[in-house]
Homo-oligomer: A and B are copies of this chain.
Amino acid sequence: MAQVRNKQVLLKNYVTGFPKESDMEIVEGSITLKVPEGSSDVVLLKNLYLSCDPYMRILMYKDTPSFTPGSPLYGFGVAKVLDSKHQDFQEGDYVWGVTGWEEYSIISSPENLFKIHHHTDVPLSYYTGILGMPGLTAYSGFFEVCGPKKGEYVFVSAAAGAVGQLVGQFAKLIGCYVVGSAGSKDKVDLLKSKFGFDEAFNYKEEHDLDAALKRYFPQGIDIYFELVGGKMLDAVLMNMRVHGRIAVCGMISQYTKEEHEGIKNTACLIYKRIRMQGFNVVDYYPLYPKFLEFLLPQIRNGEISCVEDIVGGLENGAAALVRVFNGHNIGKQVLSLMNDE
């Protein structure tokens, strides 16, 4: 059977510090567009959107279970099923879940693929963000891990990103006071004008994060949704209220450092009786149907919105991913393969 081109984004070398475009390379492989005879539980995907996520940096370290140099990156994406030997998926289905950074992927144990029930009024790319892994992360992290109550004071870092922008909107929805931090004036404006944050600030313009937090939270913080780590976490710990909760979702400021910054204020956990909880969305997949039922109507009626930052073409994959770490993205960073021919 005829083979077709399969462009791929490979990891070239393990990464130290900030990922650079040159840490990856684009190659042209080839693939037969048919699930191999005799295989079972295998699906063949045409990838449509690939999700650029902070956690992918962790998979570029040498000493963690990680991407393999010379092999394609993998991550979350949206795809169309071209062929299937798995009972849950049929040719023509749209799916989201873990796939390869390439035009076509063969997925041999698709337990991390979820069928998209066609919502023609919602962009398919949303399943890389608001309706996919980052959305469920924000939902489970905020509602399940933080246990928020109306009127509480909520702080979100990396608030303009895929997860942060949603956490802030969820918090407003239930009547919390919400402040977000981000790394540019444009992002700060977006938080206030588009996502309804009560306040927002540019952390790069604050020499004293403790003072900044005291300015926005004179009464202290009940809930901190942690996405950056390092100095921000240390400053937050000093400003938490008694019985505060910290959902530890990510630490993007640390992934690019050779040695993580030391957190000096962990004793505040005792003084303020704080619960600080790391979590991973994989533990919350069973909530996905409930999450969709909650969120789809909110998206349709405009109560909750999202901002995507879409880069087109697999050949721009490395560049798109790097944007997440230098903070050039505004909103959810997506790589679109829709126009790749």
Binding site for B on A (CB under 8 A): 58, 229, 233, 248-251, 254, 259-280, 283
Instruction: Show 10 residue pairs from A and B whose CB-CB distance is below 8 angstroms, ordered by the A residue.
Output: A58-B271, A229-B266, A233-B266, A248-B269, A259-B264, A262-B264, A263-B264, A266-B266, A269-B278, A275-B275
| Contact yes or no, A248 B270, CB < 8 A | yes
Residue contact A277 to B266, C-beta cutoff 8 Å: no
Residues of B within 8 Å of A269, CB to CB, are: 248, 276-278
Which residue of chain B lies nearest to A240 when distances are taken between CB atoms in the complex?
B278
- Residue in B266, B274, B283 whose CB lies within 8 Å of A263: B266
User: Contacts of A272 on B, CB cut-off 8 Å?
Assistant: 278
Write out the residue numbers on chain B whose beta carbons fall within 8 Å of the beta carbon of A276.
269, 275-278
Is the beta-carbon distance between B273 and A275 smaller than 8 angstroms? no
Per the bound structure, the CA–CA distance linking A262 and B260 in Å amounts to: 10
Q: Are A229 and B267 in contact (CB under 8 A)?
A: yes
Min C-beta distance of A246 to chain B, whole Å: 9
Q: Nearest chain-B residue to A255 (Cβ)?
A: B267
In the bound complex, residues from chain B placing their C-beta under 8 Å from that of A279 are 270, 273
Using known A-B contacts A248-B269, A266-B229, A266-B251, determine if residue A277 contacts B280 with beta carbons closer than 8 Å.
no
With known contacts A261-B262, A263-B263, A264-B261, A270–B251 Cβ distance under 8 A: yes
Q: Verify B275–A267 contact, CB threshold 8 A.
A: no
Cβ-closest chain B residue relative to A278: B269
Cβ–Cβ < 8 Å partners of A248 in chain B: 266, 269-270
Q: Is the CB of A270 within 8 A of B263?
A: no
Q: Which 4 A-B pairs have the closest CB atoms?
A: A262-B262, A269-B278, A270-B278, A275-B277
Report the Cα distance A58→B271, complex, angstroms.
10
- Give the residues in chain B near A268, CB-CB below 8 Å: 278
Asked whether, in the complex, the Cβ of A280 is within 8 Å of the Cβ of B273, the reply is yes
A249 touches B270 (CB 8 A): yes
**What chain B residues lie within 8 Å of A254 (beta carbons)?**
267
A339–B322 alpha-carbon span in the complex (Å): 73
Take A262-B261, A264-B261 as given contacts and tell me if A278 and B283 are in contact as well, using a CB distance cutoff of 8 Å.
Answer: no
Let me know if B280 and A270 touch, CB within 8 A: yes
Is A260 in contact with B265, judged by CB distance below 8 angstroms? yes
